[in-house]
Amino acid sequence: MIAYRLITNDDTSEFCHRITEALSKGWTLYGSPSYGFDATKGVMRCAQAVTKDVPDQEYSSDLKLGAL
């Protein structure tokens, strides 16, 4: 199975730490990051898709992707 996650957060170092943590756990960047302005909060928001090949795992909607 290839797992897919879209990691989002405000444009702070916390976002970069979340991406770095995912990469350190074997996730791979998928595409380019995206940025957008959140008018409600008045901040820039970031998003980055990541994928991970998990050959011994079958997909289930109950799967906790962040735990892979």
Q: What is the pTM of this model?
A: 0.88
**Consecutive 10-residue averages of pLDDT for the chain (68 residues):** 97 96 97 96 97 94 91
Q: What is the pLDDT of residue 51?
A: 98
Half-sphere exposure of 20 (CA within 13 A, CB side): 5
DSSP state of 56: T
Q: What is the pLDDT of residue 66?
A: 87
Collapsing DSSP to helix, strand or coil, 25 comes out as coil
